[in-house]
Amino acid sequence: MGVPVSQMWTVASYVLGKKLRGVKRYPLVLMLEPLFRCNLACAGCGKIQYPVDILRRHLTPEQCFKAVDECGAPMISIPGGEPLLHPQIGEIVEGLVARKKYVYLCTNAILLEKHIHQFKPSKYLSFSIHLDGPKEEHDFAVCREGVYDIAIQAIKTAVAKGFRVTTNTTVYNNANPDSMREMFDNMMGLGVEGMMISPGYQYEKAPSQDLFLHRNQTTNLFKRIVGNAKRSWRFNLSPLFVEFLKGNWDLECTPWGMPAYNLFGWQRPCYLLNEGYCETFQELLDTTDWSRYGRASGNPKCADCMVHCGYEATAVADTFGSLKAFSQVVKLTLLGAAREKLPPDEPGPENTSGSDEERIRKVQLPVLSS
């Protein structure tokens, strides 16, 4: 099942409406964290390093709905922690779908088959399954054997029941490009709607600090992973963001594009950095010194960041704010990226271009994900 036309239209009309009204800063995706608790302790995660009393807490459905209504973003990503550990996650998702928000429920899928009865298939709901590579790489990243196999079975079950399913892959410096490309083939074979792929952020509290990529390493690795991509692959990302990851397109961070709301309030300045909290979303927008963040700011915490929650929003906004960017998106969607010379000593995989009819059928506007 392809991304609903209504979702593409909702995102496009929302962005264009903001631009026509001269609104400079606006959210595209709300990163709604209803809890920090998780049933995994991944090596590259900095989100679960809280005291036990904090990990036992969770947002109420009413708190979630208030944040969503206050923010106004058309899309909601529900990360964590593990959202399926929330005792009222079904009620939260139902309330968001009733508001006609496009929801990406991010999960490691360990509990998905057990709790899938709480949800109904809808164009507004997608399960975003955490897969950090093929079997060995993923189980290593999550520090537990067998999790990859559980996730694959959960994907099959969800697809069979008519749910939208995407994958969410965080790439570290131990990623094998050939294995990653094989995984993309496998995901398409399972009926996954689209794949989100992004480099990991260097969380200070992450248990393993030697997994993270520096900026030049990111572009080098992503050229080998998604360079000369197969036409059969579907990425749940803006084409400009994919080009940015390969070092072929310049983007600057818009940290307000995907604001984070959690147990403590609105996190300043973004989902990745924690420099205090605000009581309201408007306070976050008005009182944050945004010039201190992003690569151009010179902030060392932002120097190597190329994560989707900072740059995917920029890519979508630029698409509808620049003729050059819009033309490039149309070109990439219709024809695919030009064949690239991959980094030395790395053979370039074959690209399957598909027919002209297939290219035209696959034209889509950029769609944000979590």
pLDDT of the chain, 370 residues: tens digit per residue: 457 889 999 999 999 999 999 999 999 999 999 999 998 887 667 666 788 899 999 999 999 999 999 999 999 999 988 999 999 999 999 999 999 999 999 999 999 999 999 999 999 999 999 998 899 888 888 889 999 999 999 999 999 999 999 999 988 888 899 999 999 999 999 999 999 999 987 766 555 566 678 889 999 999 999 999 999 999 999 999 999 999 999 999 999 999 999 999 999 999 989 999 999 999 999 999 999 999 999 999 999 999 999 999 999 999 988 899 999 999 988 888 878 777 764 444 444 334 433 432 333 334 444 4
pLDDT score recorded for residue 321: 87
pLDDT at 279: 97
What pLDDT sits at residue 80?
A: 82
- The structure's pTM equals 0.89
Q: What is the pLDDT of residue 2?
A: 57
Residue ranges per domain, the chain? 5-361
pLDDT, residue 46, reads 63
Query: What is the reported pLDDT for 360?
Result: 29
Instruction: Give the per-residue pLDDT at 30.
Output: 98
**Residue 41: half-sphere exposure toward Cβ, Cα within 13 Å:** 6
CB 258 within 8 A of CB 27: yes
- Tell me which CATH homologous superfamily contains domain 5-361: pyruvate-formate lyase- activating enzyme (3.80.30.10)
